[in-house]
Structure 1
Amino acid sequence: MALTDTFIRHVKHSGAAAGDKHSDGQGMFLLVKKTHKYWRMSYRWLGKQKTLALGVYPEVSLAQARKLRTEAREALAAGIDPSQLKRETKANKVHEAANTFEGLALAWLAMMSHSRSAGTQEKVAAWLKHDLFPYLGKLPVALIKPRDILTVVQKVEARGAIDSAHRIKQVCGQIMRYGVAIGVVERDVTADLRGALISVPRTNFAAITEPKQVAALMRSIYGYNGHFVAVAALKLSPLLFVRPGELRSAEWLEFDLDAAEWRIPAAKMKMKVEHMVPLARQAVEILRELHRVTGHGKFVFPSFRTDDACMSENTINAALRGMGYAKEVIVRLLAGLTLSN
């Protein structure tokens, strides 16, 4: 029996792991899962059973799903695989959208969302929106010249943001190389801008290399009366030699305290390779004590507001300020200890 709008609107997930299928005929069915309702169509192609995704309800209505089913059956009648036709149609739309710099940049940004942090994505999106799109967004990407990009980054330079200007040029280069890969531009024109920008001024922070300086910092940490979780993070920093962000996002499932090991998944590492951190006896003791407080949750250092997120960078910065240190002190401490070994 054919489905109705009323039934689709009110049908609930039964709890089955694979979801519940409700047929509308001619191969199309509604797949009801815990969080979403999916339109699917089963068909045979070259003797094999295949499934075509038609969309998600309610974004795709019953009428729209039936229209997509009709188009898929017409493709089958014409000897065309509907799944292959869908892929080609999507690729053509991406190609057409990428004809402007804005279209290409947004396609590249979406592609990169799976391989880098949300914070980096937000920063790059802001550069695109505020610095690049107002000047380059509507230009046909194939007609963009080195001078067009140089003009934009020099505007960033003019406001004193030298490092951002270099990073924005790098972003433009990544976008253009993506355009080369999908065939909408011939070459990365930013290669012609090498040496055209003001050099980034280098700021050297004095590393903590003297034992007395290290001892003073450690005494400050162990004498700090702040939140227990923040203090534990500060105590562990010089024992683990990891980036502050890697420490803050640590999860209990990554630790084997009996084996004195912390295995950071590849997805969290800059080089995308799993990293094993051996744990000193002092680190294990701190972690065991901390486990009694936060071990019920996912994160070793949970946010003070919710257990669903890790502790923010501001928490550590505030603790350091309370002890009279700048926020870079942990990074400099690690650098100094490395130099002194």
Structure 2
Amino acid sequence: MTKLTVKQLEALTDADDGKTLREDGGLVAKVRAGVRGVTVLFRYEFKLDGAKRDHRLGSWPKKSLAMIRAERDDLRATTSKGINPTAARKAAKIEAQAAIDATIAEAERQVAENKTVADLFKEWLHDGVSRQDGNAELRRSFTKDVLPVIGKKPLRNLTEKDLLAVLRAIKSRGLNRAVVIRSKDLGQMLRWAEKRKPWRTLMADGNPADLVDVKKLLDHDYQEQRDRLLSPDEIRELHNIFARLERDYVALPPGQKYSGIRPVNTRVQCAMWICLSTLCRIGELLKAEWRYVDLDKGTWFIPAEATKGHKGKRQDHHVFLSSFALTQFRHLKKVTGHTPFCFPSKDERNHVDTKTVSKLIGDRQCSFKSRSKPLAGRHHDDSLVLSKGAKGEWTPHDLRRTGATMMQELGITLEIIDRCQNHLLGGSKVRRHYLHHDYAKEKTEAWRLLGEHTESILATNELG
């Protein structure tokens, strides 16, 4: 039996179709002629356990003759050991796949083991928390205060000291309230992780948030629950400040207006008096839409989705506007009535950000802020400090509390005050099911008395 040569294979023609070629060592070839020319299919014939078998080696010229012989020689070595080459090939594939699977598993284990705080935050934001603003504030605050400090830290290595580093950096800016809020947010995120894979395995040493005592970071005189009230004198003073800032600015020569203290925007002034006279939350007010304000009937409807809920529960709120509150909405209507929103954003496509007014009020009480320099594009003065700062900073939310306290002083029952504030009231489910009186009459009277009392306070006002 002669040895096959490349020249012999190259000499084959269509006339050789179906011809069988053989070579010593079990190498067998079958000639196939087709549209793409002549192809020679090789196989290795051998005996195993007394039975004749064969194993495909591929085709020439796709494979060279030398490659085919080398593969045949490997198979001869395998069969000489009594091993079926087909079974051996399957075993090799299985072993190779097992090695690949093991490599992938190890890589996934390492990835899981090295998941960072930023990885956790991303998943928590997507699956673990859903706040009224679509988690916008969480995203903003973590991006600013948390992730730059510990975002790249593997969760398995996160410690109490790392969390304290985040909180101390916030405290260094004098933001006690932000320290409390960020500590609660971090705790909520880590408690969520404790209950879920793969995070809980990365917290085998416990939750570092449980070791943080945020009270030790706060100023001794800091109170988490604000109780700031504006006295009648301060309400008059605030009214005077609004008027004086407008008067002084108008009196400035044209060339000095740029450097002068600008008056408080009409929208902000209206917002302050509406908060005081309706007991509304500033966030609810800034979301208000003109379609829900009826100036003829003197009503303002706040749909449940625009209210602040408790444990996910919200309810519609009907406000019956006093003469004083109605006047404020009419002033506002002249300014923003051409838009759908009472307090529109700059492009007038949506309402203004719900933190805008609080920031504006805070920026004009800069002596209470620990800022090394003014924030870009923001006010930086003490034009809205009341009582020479003796009672501390005031916020728009303090006006809601002040109005509620004024109602109490007017003899209005706590239940009606709660309803005017749109508090979710407890009590028996059976009682809530059967008793549906809306207290519209009582609330209207309460708001009327508050409006008249506010007007009486301001009636004695003397422009200073």
Per the normalisation by structure 2, the TM-score is: 0.43
Work out whether residues 262 and 276 of structure 1, in 8 Å CA contact, stay in contact via their aligned partners in 2: yes
Deviation per CA, 1:264-283, whole angstroms, max 9, x where unpaired? Answer: 43354253413515222322
CA distance in 2, matches of 1:129, 1:232: 38
Give the alignment partner of residue 335 of structure 1, picking from 401, 416, 420: 401
- Percent of paired sites with the same residue: 16
Partner of 2:278: 240
Partner of 1:102: 118
Question: Higher mean Cα deviation, 278-287 or 264-273?
Answer: 264-273
CA distance in 1, matches of 2:151, 2:318: 43
Deviation per CA, 1:242-293, whole angstroms, max 9, x where unpaired? Answer: 3333322322234344261331433542534135152223222332343344
Superposed displacement of residue 119, structure 1? 3.0
CA distance in 2, matches of 1:277, 1:156: 42
Say what the alpha-carbon RMSD is for the aligned residues.
3.9
Partner of 1:287: 329
Aligned to 2:159, what secondary structure does the other structure show?
helix
Partner of 2:233: 212
CA distance in 1, matches of 2:278, 2:128: 30
2:344 is aligned with 1:306: no
Superposed displacement of residue 168, structure 1? 4.2
2:131 is aligned with 1:115: yes
One-letter code aligned to 2:283: G
2:315 is aligned with 1:274: yes
Partner of 1:252: 290
2:159 is aligned with 1:149: yes
Q: 1:251 to 1:176 in 2, by over 3 A?
A: same
One-letter code aligned to 1:150: E
CA distance in 2, matches of 1:128, 1:318: 24
Higher relative contact order (CA 8 A, sep 6+): 2
Q: Which runs of 5+ in 2 are unaligned?
A: 1-107, 247-262, 366-378, 386-392, 409-464
Work out whether residues 172 and 190 of structure 1, in 8 Å CA contact, stay in contact via their aligned partners in 2: no
One-letter code aligned to 1:171: D
Work out whether residues 251 and 300 of structure 1, in 8 Å CA contact, stay in contact via their aligned partners in 2: yes
Q: 1:109 to 1:262 in 2, by over 3 A?
A: same
2:219 is aligned with 1:203: no
2:130 is aligned with 1:125: no
CA distance in 2, matches of 1:299, 1:105: 34
CA distance in 2, matches of 1:309, 1:316: 22
CA distance in 1, matches of 2:242, 2:303: 25
Work out whether residues 113 and 121 of structure 1, in 8 Å CA contact, stay in contact via their aligned partners in 2: no
Deviation per CA, 1:33-92, whole angstroms, max 9, x where unpaired? Answer: xxxxxxxxxxxxxxxxxxxxxxxxxxxxxxxxxxxxxxxxxxxxxxxxxxxxxxxxxxx9
One-letter code aligned to 2:139: Q
Work out whether residues 98 and 104 of structure 1, in 8 Å CA contact, stay in contact via their aligned partners in 2: no
Aligned to 1:262, what secondary structure does the other structure show?
strand
Aligned to 2:327, what secondary structure does the other structure show?
helix
Deviation per CA, 1:92-120, whole angstroms, max 9, x where unpaired? Answer: 9xx96994433222111233675243234
Per the normalisation by structure 1, the TM-score is: 0.56
One-letter code aligned to 2:122: L
Superposed displacement of residue 153, structure 1? 2.2
Q: Following TM superposition, where does structure 1 have runs of at least 4 consecutive aligned residues deviating by more than 6 angstroms?
A: 318-323
Give the alignment partner of residue 182 of structure 1, picking from 196, 201, 221: 196
Equivalenced residues, count: 239
Work out whether residues 234 and 316 of structure 1, in 8 Å CA contact, stay in contact via their aligned partners in 2: no
